[in-house]
Amino acid sequence: MNRLQLLTVSTLAALATARSAHADNVELRIATLAPSGSPWMETLDKANAEVKEKTGNRVGLKYFEGGQQGDEKDFVRKIKLGQLDGAAVTSIGLAMIDESIRVLELPMMFDTAEEVDYVADKMWPYFQKKFEKKGFRLQDRGEVGWIYFLSTAKVQSINDLKGQKLWMWGDDQLVGAMFKKLALNGVPLGVPEVDAALTSGKINACYGSPVAAVALQWYSKVKYMTSMPMSFAIGATVVSLDSLKKISAEDQKTVEDVSKTWSKKLRKVIRKANDDAKSTMTRKGVTVVQTPVAMVDEFTKQSKESWTELAGKIYSKDELDMVIKYRDEYRAKHKK
Domain boundaries of the chain, sorted by first residue: 25-333
Q: Which of 64, 70, 107, 125 lies closest to 228 in space, CA to CA?
A: 107
Asked if 89 and 75 count as a contact pair (C-beta separation under 8 A), the reply is yes
Q: Which of 107, 61, 101 lies closest to 84 in space, CA to CA?
A: 61
Per-residue confidence in pLDDT tens, the chain, 336 aa: 555 454 444 544 444 444 444 556 899 999 999 999 999 999 999 999 999 999 999 999 999 999 999 999 999 999 999 999 999 999 999 999 999 999 999 999 999 999 999 999 999 999 999 999 999 999 999 999 999 999 999 999 999 999 999 999 988 889 999 999 999 999 999 999 999 999 999 999 999 999 999 999 999 999 999 999 999 999 999 999 999 999 999 999 999 999 999 999 999 999 999 999 999 999 999 999 999 999 999 999 999 999 999 999 999 999 999 999 999 999 999 986
Strands 86-90 vs 26-32: parallel, antiparallel or unpaired: parallel
Q: Which of 25, 30, 59 lies closest to 44 in space, CA to CA?
A: 30
Alpha carbon distance 187, 84 (integer Å): 29
Alpha carbon distance 56, 5 (integer Å): 34
Both ends of the chain: CA-CA distance in Å? 79
Residue 161: C-alpha distances to residues 33, 157, 184, 295, 298 (Å) = 27, 7, 7, 10, 12
Q: The domain 25-333 is classified under which CATH number: 3.40.190.170, 3.40.50.11740, 3.50.50.60, 3.40.309.10? A: 3.40.190.170
Alpha carbon distance 146, 105 (integer Å): 10
Alpha carbon distance 64, 30 (integer Å): 6
Residue 269: C-alpha distances to residues 124, 188, 194, 265, 272 (Å) = 20, 30, 25, 6, 5
Residue 206: C-alpha distances to residues 3, 79, 202, 327 (Å) = 73, 29, 11, 28
